[in-house]
């Protein structure tokens, strides 16, 4: 009887097709940095609930540092990708929305019961909405070039660092128990509002692209001094930098308003 489906022996010399194209290392490296930052954010939550707040703060700060360099590494290696951008946004939500909210909740907000949990939720959701709006604005081709020097609202990493100010003050000796829980909750709500607001804040993206030779060496010395102070007087420097950042917000609002008026006048003159 003749077989309907005779046996088939594949040609051993026939080259096998690859199912997946190899991915260059320059594309993987920035994503590994983002994943490492995500691990630090998740670890910060565990450390906070183990009452190791100092290590939790360090983990979030290192995650913020890695968040600042992963995009630059991707652009330097020409390894930017849509996957990397989406991964970065998801990691930022955990590192700068969920982690700080849960750290502050375990630190003092849990003393307020359900209201403290609502404050933590509002902070985390504000960070999520801030990141979503940032991603949408990146794809806006009609946005003027000068506006790229400003963020719309407080960026999520800055919101996380600012929101942890009560913890810095706690390590500097300011009591944060009992009656201070409500002021901390109100402060977290204000920071959450700043993240979803339209208040312009300096982005610093165009600063430092060209540095005069005369200030290169002083800049090196100042950078080394800043890092040394940060490592030696960590919470003092964090509190000081946070307060300086908050003080710069009115300055950025005034600067944005002046630039807006100037460019509107220039556009009106061109139309005439």
- For residue 254, give its domain range: 25-138+145-198+213-265
Distances (CA, A) of 52 to 45, 175, 180, 267: 10, 17, 20, 55
In a domain, 126, yes or no: yes
Q: Give the pLDDT band of residue 166 (cuts 50, 70, 90).
A: very high
Burial class (CB in 10 A: 0-12, 13-18, 19+), 1: exposed
Q: What digits encode the pLDDT tens for the residues 35-77?
A: 999 999 999 999 998 889 899 999 999 999 888 888 788 788 7
What is the model's pLDDT at position 260? 82
Q: What digits encode the pLDDT tens for the residues 84-98?
A: 888 888 998 999 999
Q: What digits encode the pLDDT tens for the residues 187-205?
A: 999 999 999 998 988 886 6
User: In whole angstroms, what is the distance from residue 127 CA to residue 135 CA?
Assistant: 13
Summary count for the chain: helices (H), strands (E): 10, 2
What is the model's pLDDT at position 140? 64
Distance of CA 132 to the CA centre of its chain: 12
- pLDDT > 90? residue 81: no
Helix (H) / strand (E) element for 66: namely helix 53-76
In a domain, 166, yes or no: yes
Neighbours of 22 (CB within 10 A): 6
In a domain, 14, yes or no: no
In a domain, 9, yes or no: no
The percentage of the chain sitting over the pLDDT mark of 70, rounded to a whole number, equals 86
In a domain, 32, yes or no: yes
What is the model's pLDDT at position 217? 81
> Can you spell out the DSSP letters for 202-218?
E--SSTTSS--GGGHHH
User: In whole angstroms, what is the distance from residue 204 CA to residue 216 CA?
Assistant: 18
The arithmetic mean of pLDDT across residues 144-162, rounded, is: 84
User: In whole angstroms, what is the distance from residue 168 CA to residue 263 CA?
Assistant: 41
In a domain, 56, yes or no: yes
In a domain, 84, yes or no: yes
| CATH number of the structural domain spanning residue 98 | 1.20.120.1760
DSSP assigned state of 96 = I
What's the number of CA atoms in the CB half-sphere (13 Å) around residue 180? 13
* CB of 94 closer than 8 Å to CB of 42: yes
User: In whole angstroms, what is the distance from residue 245 CA to residue 203 CA?
Assistant: 12
What's the number of CA atoms in the CB half-sphere (13 Å) around residue 83? 9
Helix, coil or strand: residue 1: coil
In a domain, 101, yes or no: yes
* CB of 74 closer than 8 Å to CB of 80: yes
Q: How many structural domains comprise the chain?
A: 1
Contacts of 68 (CB under 8 A, 6+ apart): 157
**For the chain, how many residues are written?**
272
241-261 core/surface letters (b: 16 or more CB in 10 A; e: else): ebeebeeebeebeeebeebee
| Mean of per-residue pLDDT scores for the chain | 84
Which of 4-8, 67-71, 105-109, 199-203 is predicted with the least confidence, judged by mean pLDDT? 4-8
Q: Cite the DSSP H helix spans in the chain.
A: 25-49, 53-76, 82-93, 99-107, 114-138, 156-163, 165-171, 181-196, 216-232, 234-271
- pLDDT > 90? residue 231: no
Whose tokens are 């430092």? That residue is 208
**pTM higher than the cut 0.85:** no
């Amino acid at each position: 009887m003749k077989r309907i489906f005779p046996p088939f022996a594949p040609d051993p010399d026939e080259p096998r097709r690859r199912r997946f194209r190899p991915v260059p290392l320059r594309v993987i490296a920035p994503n590994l940095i983002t994943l490492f930052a995500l691990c630090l954010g998740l670890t910060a939550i565990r450390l906070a609930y183990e009452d190791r707040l100092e290590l939790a703060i360090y983990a979030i700060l290192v995650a913020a540092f890695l968040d600042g360099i992963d995009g630059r590494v991707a652009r330097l290696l020409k390894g930017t990708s849509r996957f990397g951008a989406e991964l970065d946004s998801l990691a930022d939500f955990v590192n700068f929305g969920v982690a700080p909210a849960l750290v502050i909740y375990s630190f003092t907000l849990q003393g307020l019961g359900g209201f403290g949990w609502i404050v933590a939720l509002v902070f985390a959701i504000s960070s999520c909405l801030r990141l979503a709006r940032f991603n949408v604005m990146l794809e806006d081709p009609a946005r003027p070039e000068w506006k790229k020097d400003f963020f719309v609202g407080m960026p999520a990493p800055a919101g996380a660092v600012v929101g942890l100010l009560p913890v810095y003050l706690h390590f500097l000796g300011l009591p944060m128990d009992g009656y201070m829980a409500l002021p901390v909750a109100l402060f977290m709500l204000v920071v959450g509002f700043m993240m979803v607001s339209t208040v312009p804040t300096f982005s610093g993206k165009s600063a430092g692209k060209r540095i005069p030779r005369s200030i290169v060496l002083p800049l090196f010395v100042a950078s080394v001094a800043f890092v040394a102070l940060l490592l030696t007087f960590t919470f003092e420097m964090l509190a000081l930098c946070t307060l300086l950042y908050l003080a710069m917000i009115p300055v950025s609002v005034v600067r944005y308003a002046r630039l807006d008026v100037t460019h509107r006048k220039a556009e009106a003159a061109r139309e005439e």
